[in-house]
Amino acid sequence: QAEKITKDLNPEYGSIQKLHTRNSDLVALCEDKVVRIYANKDALFNADGNVNLTATDKVLGTAQPFAGEYGISKNPESFALL
């Protein structure tokens, strides 16, 4: 386990119950909060420790919670598109 390849969300949000893609973002429906995670966006990073930069869209970006105090609880089957 050389590099961290996971994304941590605030544990106060509870566990992720459902993932849904919307436009070019990923929506994570947690027990107590709904979070938008930017996806398929170009990101620049240093691939080998040198100044050489590589562009890729295979990363998950910032997790931004939606306004409000709501989540999907432990009932992901209640999810419906509007």
Q: What is the pTM of this model?
A: 0.71
pLDDT at 80 over 70: yes
Identify the pLDDT of residue 35. 94
Q: Which residues contact 45 (CB under 8 A, 6 or more apart)?
A: 53, 54, 56
Q: Give the model's pLDDT for residue 29.
A: 93
pLDDT on residue 56: 64
| pLDDT digit string, tens, across residues 28-72 | 999 999 999 888 776 655 655 555 556 666 677 778 999 998 899
Of the two residues 78 and 49, the one the predictor is more confident about is 78
